[in-house]
Amino acid sequence: MDIKKLSVRTASGLVYIGIIIGCIFWGIIPFSFMAAVFATLGIIEFEKITHELTIKTIPTLLLDIAGAVCLVFGWMLYPIFIWIFILICRMTLQLYIRSESPLADLSKSMMAQLYIGLPLGIMTLIGEWVSLPIVFTIFLMIWINDTGAFLVGSTLGKHRLFERISPKKSWEGFFGGLIFNIIAGGVFCTYASSFLGMNGMNIYEGIGLGIVVTVFGTWGDLIESMIKRNLQIKDSGNIIPGHGGILDRIDSLLLVMPATFIYMCLLDFI
């Protein structure tokens, strides 16, 4: 990678991280709107790569976006009832669309909403029901895992983690990210528990959170790689210079948030 491309990648990455951190500490409403924008862009990318977007597909696209946005604001409760109504409308609309594969079209719509909208909705739910700082901690751990996996994998990686799906990922990189997050979980709980919303978590539970983020973040990345490999594409889009599409940036998040929600329920945080 040349200096110019690296500079563009670094700058766009910093802007992306800055937007996330700014919205987290601004409050639940701005954060939810940010998540809604991510959901909208993600739905558009997903439907663009899974089938051709035309004037005829605009109504279904808009319904899928509306469904995902309702899930994002599900912490308010009433948007969930709107989402149920949208699902009914989406299935009924398929009756009036001339399509050679109506079941496949419906399946893609349902997957788009549940694969993208639901995890982002769980993210805002954690922010409202637990705290926004703990959401910040989850993002930090995702970034720490990515950094650890890259540093260790690029220098020591020899054994392929999942060659059929992602030839570049290695077991060494996975364990590198895992070790980084185990350390992070312990350090966060010991020295920054109040700031990071980890009050009530002991060091073992903090380490457990790091393990959950690493394992499910890796699976989330692999799932998106599987989708792209199946569709024979490199990136889900090009909205973030040097990084690809929004789905390329939030792929880990889409599995981490549901898994973290379950983990916190087991710890009685929710």
Per-residue pLDDT of 179-196, as tens digits, reads 999 999 999 999 888 888
pTM to 2 decimals?
A: 0.92
The whole-angstrom separation of Cα 175 and Cα 172 is 5
- Burial status of residue 48 (CB atoms within 10 A of its CB: 0-12, 13-18, 19 or more): middle
pLDDT per residue as tens digits for the range 70-112: 999 999 999 999 999 999 999 999 998 888 888 988 999 999 9
Task: Return the pLDDT at 2.
Answer: 61
Identify the pLDDT of residue 270: 65
- Whole-number pLDDT of residue 131: 92
Task: Give 208's contacts (C-beta < 8 A, 6+ positions apart).
Answer: 185, 263
Measure Cα distances from 34 to 79, 120, 121, 191, 265 in Å. Answer: 17, 10, 11, 29, 25
Distance separating alpha carbons of residues 265 and 270, to the nearest angstrom: 5
- pLDDT below 70 — which residues of the chain? 1-2, 4-6, 237, 241-243, 270
Determine if residue 101 is left, alpha or beta; phi over 0 gives left, psi from -120 to 50 gives alpha, anything else beta.
beta
Rounded distance between C-alpha atoms, residue 152 and residue 171, angstroms: 10
**3-state SS assignment for residue 101:** coil
3-class DSSP assignment, residue 168: strand
Cα distance between residue 248 and residue 146, in whole Å = 13
pLDDT of residue 222: 93
- Which residues partner with 240 through β-bridges? 244
